Chain A
């Protein structure tokens, strides 16, 4: 067997891809973001409820895509619910480093998201892992309404 594949598709990741958490609609969402990876056809619809202080009160997602994009979205929603804006921005940067940088440490704060570290050995799959995060980043920028982001046009710094 290939150790890189075992690391990429850990049991927890496959489990989240088969039974994604926080999957569905959010009736009282304040902002909706449609994330789109035109390279592979993955789509994610993110519904976010932001509180008056800008924190993330509730979050749900739907859509379809590969195991990596689904699991990443599922793990992300679990992690971000109830977090402040500043915490989310920090996590976003840490997660991006985790999946792209060979030497990046995996901060404890990321919890189960650290299991996605295997993605860094598969550069073609980084966009899959980042799709949900791009959407949440846009949700924070947008704060209200409905918008579409694409992994091809909205590259994070």
Chain B
């Protein structure tokens, strides 16, 4: 399974693009292993956003003046940039949102209320982030639909052998994550989408943990919806994307009402624009969209295959080193995993471990990672999670192991 390196990117030089990586925390060099929560941002993205505010700031789709046309053009070309990045058929399939959570809520509310009815089944998996669980619970409550779950096996993979009995004709929607944010599991998206399509179910992919980490082509994956956040892929916070296949997006009624999303308004009634503008009421996050496009440019210059390769190698090396530690249990599959490792140690509770590590400049996340049902499934109150991105190095993993050894001594 060993792949040859696909690029000769100088990863150490890339670190210079991220000013924050040079800072110290509690007197120690920062080791940032929390990119699954939010990634750091390169200068190139920060400068693009700053330039927009300094020289081009204006509202979109409204003014007839020069700056407004420029802002509109920058905003709409960002949409096209996202469409190309995802292999979408058209920029009209790209809706800008605040992030993954809002994208999923848009589908659950606007699509779900129109197309689901009593007895409809929403199929999810046991490994979903609360963002891809709670919106469906709320919808199920409102329309009397039912939720059903694909179980997770002990090794952190989905019980795919049960899929055919779970995917019955009542299943109207199958929503699942591409990469699990606490197990690291990479799910076989295109296989899942094809099986769902065979019973007439619509699919939604939560790509929060994959969009900035690996090549994605929505037409190859054959998903109907795909959601992600800009801030986990070098972009600003507050901007995200909902991809929706054209035929489906056009059938969805408006969600939020307001300016920008209408064609004509009388006191009694309004007519609405087509997708995607129908779903973007009010002044959008213009700078966010521009920043996201800059992040995509940045990632594409490095190349997603190279990023994926680097991430996977870091995860593999981390797994290899972590098992050296006494009383260590790493969650999730041994191979075929994304850029993160969740683990528990006999020596200390995840909270204590994370607090300890933080004092040595090592930023990890400790807790349930918005995966309470999954933690319960594994009988754990939570885990410590180290998550990586292309700017991390194997030396940082060595440092993590050193700190965890020190923690073991400290707590036992």
Contacts and interface: CB of A to CB of B under 8 A. Distances in A.
Interface of A: 2, 4-5, 8-9, 14, 38-43, 64-68, 122, 124-125, 128
B150 to A, nearest CB: 23
Contacts of B366: 40
Nearest to A42: B381
A13 B84 CA distance: 56
Contact of A67 (B348, B360, B382): B348
Nearest to A3: B359
Interface in B339-386: 348-352, 355-356, 359-360, 366-368, 372, 375, 381-382
Nearest to B26: A2
B349 A67 contact: yes
A14 to B, nearest CB: 7
B300 to A, nearest CB: 37
Interface of B: 26, 348-352, 355-356, 359-360, 366-368, 372, 375, 381-382, 410-411
Contacts of A67: 348-349, 352, 411
Nearest to B349: A66
A66 B352 contact: yes
Contacts of A9: 352, 410-411
Contact of A64 (B356, B381, B411): B381
3 tightest CB-CB pairs across the interface, nearest first? A41-B381, A66-B351, A66-B349
Contacts of A64: 381
Nearest to B380: A41
Given A9-B352, A67-B349, A128-B351, 14 more contacts: A4-B359, A5-B355, A5-B410, A9-B410, A40-B381, A41-B367, A41-B372, A41-B375, A41-B381, A64-B381, A65-B349, A65-B381, A66-B352, A125-B355
A39 B352 CA distance: 14
20 contacts: A2-B26, A2-B359, A4-B359, A5-B355, A5-B410, A9-B352, A39-B367, A40-B351, A40-B366, A40-B367, A41-B367, A41-B372, A41-B375, A43-B381, A65-B381, A66-B350, A66-B351, A67-B411, A122-B355, A125-B355
Nearest to B381: A41
Contacts of A8: 355
A46 B230 CA distance: 44
A67 B355 CA distance: 11
A34 to B, nearest CB: 14
Contacts of B351: 40, 42, 65-66, 68, 125, 128
A40 B382 contact: yes
A14 B411 contact: yes
Contacts of A2: 26, 359-360
B28 to A, nearest CB: 9
B81 to A, nearest CB: 37
A9 B351 CA distance: 13
A117 B85 CA distance: 52
B404 to A, nearest CB: 14
Contacts of A39: 367
Contacts of A42: 351, 381
Contacts of B368: 40-41
A5 B354 CA distance: 12
A56 B294 CA distance: 63
B411 A124 contact: no
Nearest to A41: B381
Given A40-B382, A68-B352, A5 B359 contact: yes
A82 to B, nearest CB: 30
Nearest to A125: B355
Contacts of B382: 40-41
A144 B360 CA distance: 46
A29 to B, nearest CB: 24
A61 to B, nearest CB: 16
B348 to A, nearest CB: 7
B367 to A, nearest CB: 5
Contacts of B356: 5
A64 B411 CA distance: 17
Nearest to B351: A66
B267 to A, nearest CB: 42
A14 B410 CA distance: 10
Nearest to A8: B355
B351 to A, nearest CB: 4
A124 B355 contact: yes
B344 to A, nearest CB: 12
Most buried by B among A40, A64, A124: A40
A130 to B, nearest CB: 14
B410 to A, nearest CB: 7
A11 B270 CA distance: 69
Nearest to B367: A40
Nearest to A122: B355
A8 B355 CA distance: 10
B379 to A, nearest CB: 11
A104 B305 CA distance: 55
A40 B350 CA distance: 9
Most buried by B among A14, A38, A41, A42: A41
Nearest to A2: B359
A72 to B, nearest CB: 13
